[in-house]
């Protein structure tokens, strides 16, 4: 009985490793170079015309902080009501900024904690500070130095959205990452 089970297991494993054959592609066509015409001379720009050189690796690179396609261009971390826990959906943003700071030791950043209008002024200032500190702590775990990050709380004083709706409140419960010059 054990031999039959072992044989079945081996046969199953071998069947799982098999693959279906693929069709071969046709070969690429070869260019006919037997023609007798001389090679074309590269065109020369007219006098005074602007020329451009191809951009290769190591040439001018776009600042990742200003590239809208880069995750580093995202600077706001949103929080749930009365919470300073970084949501899972914003962890990649915090992680990218933490790693960026770890690789750029001369760069400084300020994290501004914000809240919605609900709660007392004192409570909201403390909650905004906890939010900013939570983002800072996560960045430090990912490579940033404490000396690179300043935290501040504005509480409810700098709302992004006006109004007393859940949508407005959700936009105001955030921590903003600010680099010098912003």
The model's confidence at residue 51, banded by pLDDT at 50, 70 and 90, is very low
**165 lies in which domain range?**
71-178
Residue 106, in any domain of the structure: yes
* Inter-residue contact 148 to 101 (CB < 8 Å): yes
Domain count, the chain: 1
Residue 38, in any domain of the structure: no
List the CATH number of the domain containing 152.
3.30.1330.60
25 versus 77: the higher-pLDDT residue is 77
Residue 108, in any domain of the structure: yes
Q: Tokens 């859940």 correspond to what residue?
A: 166
User: pLDDT per residue over 64-109, tens digit each?
Assistant: 888 888 899 999 999 999 999 999 999 999 999 999 999 999 999 9
Cβ neighbors of 145 (< 8 A, separation 6 or more) are: 101, 102, 105
Which two three-digit tokens encode residue 165?
């709706």
Q: Tokens 């044989």 correspond to what residue?
A: 7
pLDDT at residue 173, as a whole number: 97
* Mean pLDDT taken over the chain: 80
């Amino acid at each position: 009985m054990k031999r039959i089970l072992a044989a079945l297991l081996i046969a199953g494993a071998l069947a799982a490793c098999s693959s279906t054959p693929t069709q071969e592609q046709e070969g690429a066509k070869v260019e006919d170079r037997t023609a007798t015409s001389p090679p074309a001379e590269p065109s020369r720009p007219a006098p005074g015309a602007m020329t451009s050189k191809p951009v290769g690796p190591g040439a001018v690179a776009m600042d990742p902080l200003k590239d809208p396609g880069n995750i580093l261009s995202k600077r706001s971390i949103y929080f749930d009501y009365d919470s300073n826990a970084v949501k899972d959906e914003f962890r990649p943003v915090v992680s990218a900024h933490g790693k960026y700071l770890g690789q750029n030791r001369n760069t400084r950043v300020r994290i501004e904690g914000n809240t919605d209008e609900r709660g007392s002024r004192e409570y909201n200032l403390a909650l905004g500070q906890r939010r900013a500190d939570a983002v800072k702590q996560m960045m430090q775990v990912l490579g940033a130095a404490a000396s690179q990050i300043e935290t501040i709380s504005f509480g409810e004083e700098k709302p992004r959205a006006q109004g007393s709706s859940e949508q407005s409140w959700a936009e105001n419960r955030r921590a903003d990452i600010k680099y010098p010059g912003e």
